Amino acid sequence: MRDVLADWQPVIDDAIAEVLPREIDEQYLADFFGAPTYAYDPDAIQQALSDPIWELLDRGGKRWRAVLAAQLFEGFGADPTDYLQYAIIPEILHNGTIIVDDVEDGASKRRGGPALHLEYGTDIALNAGNAMYFLPLKIITRNGGDLDAETRLEIYEMLMYELNRTHLGQGMDIWWHNEKEIQATEAEYCEMGACKTGCIGRIVARLPAIITGQTNEVEQRVAEYAEQMSIAFQIGDDILDIEHTLDQAGEFGKEFGNDIREGKKTLMAIHAAEHASASDTARLEEILWADTNTDEEIMEAIEIYQSAGSIDYARERAEAMARQARERLPDEQLDPAIAERLAAFTRFVIERDK
């Protein structure tokens, strides 16, 4: 799977560069956004949009959302290179969300470098992140795939539905880590993941299904596949934060104990609050609530997770969701080789080491 991602990454980046070039000029601005009423400032847009966005993209990221969309196009019998401008939509959206997330979370690192709001300023970071929510709408307006009006409207409506739900998930996540007590239930956590992470995954799957004219049932099945896999990915991400903290962060690209420092109510925290002793739960809540944490406190929180069996439980839940994702694949409508590759994605998201 790593080889597939590595092969596709430069292709995906080239497609993104067609939407947002590395070098901004007046011709691009006029072609993509329309003629100015008075005058654009390409240099300002270069430094406020293109530079920070491409710095984030160039730091890494697996581009798995765009690659998965391309695989689905191929699985449904289309040439994915004909629809790359649509395959990159969820990748652009995802990177926009993490820029904004880092501001909201007060994160200090992202992909091995300073969070964009620390390097470029909060104003530039928020504007760049928000711009990435709207660039995909311009892709549809430009209609490089020559889609009919009904299909384009269906895509617009799908994006509005899914993107609105991402903000429900983010709102839940923010509220929980701004409360001292761990009150969220496992079901609420899974719903948060289904909205915050899963909705971008659903966009990954629904775009190819809509564009290639699949039935509502097939569209729903691939959407559920991607949603379940995305939740498994999120849980796996939380586990990786712990594992790499135990290894002094390794090369994960995040701060030591990032989720604990941010007070994140992960599945492990929720499970520990339900299964640890009252004193351990109270201590865990104190550590997650604190404005700053020492490395010793980070390790203390992890020891509470370990003693309650919460890390193992989270891994079991991620594996179960990955299995459920595989079961939702509409194998009869997909090219067999692609179906096998899509199943492999569900294993990759929980077995990866970064």
Query: Which CATH number goes with the domain that contains 20?
Result: 1.10.600.10
User: For the residues 339-346, what does the mean pLDDT come to?
Assistant: 92
Which of 109, 115, 71 shows the shortest CA–CA distance to 90? 71
Q: Residue 347 belongs to what domain range?
A: 2-351
Which of 80, 12, 92, 4 shows the shortest CA–CA distance to 343? 4
User: For the residues 334-353, what does the mean pLDDT come to?
Assistant: 88
Q: Are 109 and 115 in contact (CB under 8 A)?
A: yes
Domain count, the chain: 1
Q: Is 220 or 5 the better-scoring residue by pLDDT?
A: 220
Q: How does pLDDT run across 168-181, given as a tens digit for each residue? A: 999 999 999 889 99
User: For the residues 68-75, what does the mean pLDDT come to?
Assistant: 96
Q: How does pLDDT run across 16-62, given as a tens digit for each residue? A: 999 999 999 999 999 999 999 999 999 999 999 999 999 999 998 88
What pLDDT shows up at residue 252?
44
Res. 253 pLDDT band, cuts 50 70 90: very low
CA–CA gap between residue 38 and residue 144 (Å, rounded): 28
What pLDDT shows up at residue 177?
85
pLDDT of 254 over the 70 cut: no
Average pLDDT of the chain, as a whole number: 92
What pLDDT shows up at residue 2?
75
User: For the residues 316-342, what does the mean pLDDT come to?
Assistant: 93
Q: Is 108 or 51 the better-scoring residue by pLDDT?
A: 51
Q: Are 165 and 199 in contact (CB under 8 A)?
A: yes
What pLDDT shows up at residue 259?
87
Report residue 160 as tokens: 């509005």
pLDDT of 226 over the 70 cut: yes
What pLDDT shows up at residue 353?
62
CA–CA gap between residue 135 and residue 17 (Å, rounded): 12
Q: How many other CB atoms are there within 10 angstroms of residue 151's CB atom?
A: 17
Tell me the β-bridge partners of 113: 110
Q: What is the 3-state secondary structure (H, E, C) of the chain?
A: CHHHHHHHHHHHHHHHHHHCCCCCCHHHHHHHHCCCCCCCCHHHHHHHHHHHHHHHHHCCCCCHHHHHHHHHHHHCCCCHHHHHHHHCHHHHHHHHHHHHHHHHHCCCEECCEECHHHHHCHHHHHHHHHHHHHHHHHHHHHCCCCCCHHHHHHHHHHHHHHHHHHHHHHHHHHHHHCCCCCCCCHHHHHHHHHHHCHHHHHHHHHHHHHHCCCCHHHHHHHHHHHHHHHHHHHHHHHHHHHHHHHCCCCCCCCCCCHHHHCCCCCHHHHHHHHHCCHHHHHHHHHHHHCCCCCHHHHHHHHHHHHHCCHHHHHHHHHHHHHHHHHHHCCHHHCCHHHHHHHHHHHHHHHHCCC
